[in-house]
Structure 1
Amino acid sequence: MSALPSLPRLPRPPLPAVLLPGGLRRRIGERLENFRVPDFTVPARLAKVAAHLPQQPPTLALTLALNLALDRILPRDTLAPLTGRHLQMRVLDAGLTLDFTLGDGGFRRAAPAAGARPDLVISATTRDFIALALREEDPDTLFFSRRLRMEGDTELGLLVKNTLDAVDWDALKAKLGLGGR
């Protein structure tokens, strides 16, 4: 068998910021700096379809994001009480129910046992979860306005809330070169 010829290396494309002229880049940056998640709800028909689809792909996306944050911005030792506990995130308007747990190797999908209830259930709409992730909304504000619900072990719920509150998001933005707000 003959060896396959090596392909020439293609040049790396420039970063998007390099492609934009200075004034346009500045205006886009200003708009992103002041961006707010608009009020929206996932259409009911789409949610009905999503509720019947396998929940594994969105759960894997969630656990991947959590694992990327683990030990970087989410301290593993603080989250130790979550180890082995069944956590569930319900995205109310999208018809998604994401079951996961924290193990020695990080966050992973959890297969719910028949008849077993999760230790902690966190429920909100897609818009409110995005606003939480972007730090536009405070968990306490959403909780007291009944837009964020926690059911089950209240100690675990407080641990999750306090861990998110303790993250120094401005330091993380600076570390990533995104600047503070």
Structure 2
Amino acid sequence: MASGMASRASNNTLPPPERDFTEISMASIPAFRVPPVVGRVVARLPQLPPTLALVGALNLALGRILPKDDLEPLTGKRLQLDVTDAGLSLRFTLSARGFRPRFDRQKADLTLRAATRDYLALALREEDADTLFFSRRLIMEGDTDIGLLVKNTLDAVDWDALIAAAKPATVLARFKTPRLSTPTT
């Protein structure tokens, strides 16, 4: 009886504290691939929604995290990001007003190809572009000058500042709550 009560008491412990976003982002990404059947299905779906998500994120970062002046040579260039295992092919360009999706079928000036896991490893700084490139896990086709510009821009991003800016408390602090005032007579 006492042992049953002790086990019930130990089950009433508090849940583990929530992990900080920085702890999650710095964790090692396990080796995985999107199942081929999922990639084949996604490849048949419209690519516009994920492209809009990508250009939206890039536009939020443009001028804050991505230096706009440094990216000026990309203006008007046709860019393509292929996520090989997920069946995604995201076509976009940089215009004077920011990144926008491309609707043409012309050959891209620069195409980057990698698996989902490799893009995540690159974004979370678990691996750098050179390592992925020389191990043939990141394929660059097209204008090498543009590819080098993209690589150097990614290397220059202050990811710690990006992670800090993405914390919910930081985002919420940007919004000021209106104060209710009482009318004076």
- State whether TM-score is above 0.5: yes
Question: Does the C-alpha gap of structure 1 residues 161 and 31 become closer, same or farther in structure 2, counting only changes over 3 Å?
Answer: closer
Give the aligned partner of residue 104 of structure 2. 112
Provide the C-alpha distance between the structure 2 equivalents of 1:139 and 1:33, rounded to a whole number of angstroms: 17
What residue ranges of structure 2 are gaps of 5+ in the alignment? 1-13, 169-185
Query: How far off is 1:169 after superposition?
Result: 2.1
Larger of the two Rg values belongs to structure: 2
Instruction: Give the % identical residues.
Output: 58
SS in 1 for 2:108: coil
Question: Does the C-alpha gap of structure 1 residues 33 and 79 become closer, same or farther in structure 2, counting only changes over 3 Å?
Answer: closer
Question: Does the C-alpha gap of structure 1 residues 80 and 51 become closer, same or farther in structure 2, counting only changes over 3 Å?
Answer: same
Provide the C-alpha distance between the structure 2 equivalents of 1:85 and 1:31, rounded to a whole number of angstroms: 36
TM-score of the aligned structures, taking structure 2 as reference length: 0.76
Provide the C-alpha distance between the structure 2 equivalents of 1:52 and 1:36, rounded to a whole number of angstroms: 31
TM-score of the aligned structures, taking structure 1 as reference length: 0.78
1:85-136 alpha-carbon deviations (Å, 9 max, x no partner): 10000000011111000011110100123xx311000000011111111111
What residue ranges of structure 1 are gaps of 5+ in the alignment? 1-20
Q: Aligned pairs, how many?
A: 154
Provide the C-alpha distance between the structure 2 equivalents of 1:174 and 1:62, rounded to a whole number of angstroms: 20
Query: How far off is 1:176 after superposition?
Result: 5.2
Give the aligned partner of residue 34 of structure 2. 42
**What RMSD over aligned residues (CA atoms) do the two structures have, in Å?**
2.1
Q: In the alignment, which of 71, 74, 78 is matched to residue 66 of structure 2?
A: 74
Query: How far off is 1:173 after superposition?
Result: 3.7
Is 2:95 the partner of 1:128? no
